[in-house]
Amino acid sequence: MQHSIFIVLDGIDGSGTSTHSKLLAGFLSLKGLKIYLTQEPSNSDIGNLLRTYLKNDKIPASTDALLFAADRVLHFNNDIKNKLEEGYTVISDRYLESSIAYQSSQSEEISVEWVKTLNKFAGKPDLTIILDIDPKLSLTRKHHKVLDKFEDTSLLEKVRQVYLDRAKNEEYIVINTDDIIEIVQANIQEVVIEKLDQCGIQIKN
Ligand code: TMP
Q: Annotate 5-68 with DSSP letters as a single string.
A: -EEEEEESTTS-HHHHHHHHHHHHHHTT--EEEEESS-SSHHHHHHHHHTT-TTS-HHHHHHHH
CA distance 25 to 6: 12
Tens-digit pLDDT string for the chain (205 aa): 668 999 999 999 999 999 999 999 999 999 999 999 999 999 999 999 999 999 999 999 999 999 999 999 999 999 999 999 999 999 999 999 999 999 999 999 999 999 999 999 999 999 999 999 999 999 888 777 678 999 999 999 999 999 999 999 999 999 999 999 999 999 999 999 999 999 999 999 8
What's the angle, vertex CA 34, arms to CA 116 and CA 23, rounded to 5?
75
Domain 6-198, CATH: 3.40.50.300
- Residue 198 CA to ligand 1 centre (angstroms): 30
* Segment holding 131, helix H or strand E: strand 127-132
Probe target for ligand 1 pocket from 57, 63, 97, 150, with the most ligand atoms within 8 Å of CB: 150
Look up residue 46 and give its amino acid.
I
Regarding the beta carbon of 92 and ligand 1, being less than 6 Å apart is answered: no
The domain ranges of the chain are 6-198
- Residue 98 CA to ligand 1 centre (angstroms): 6
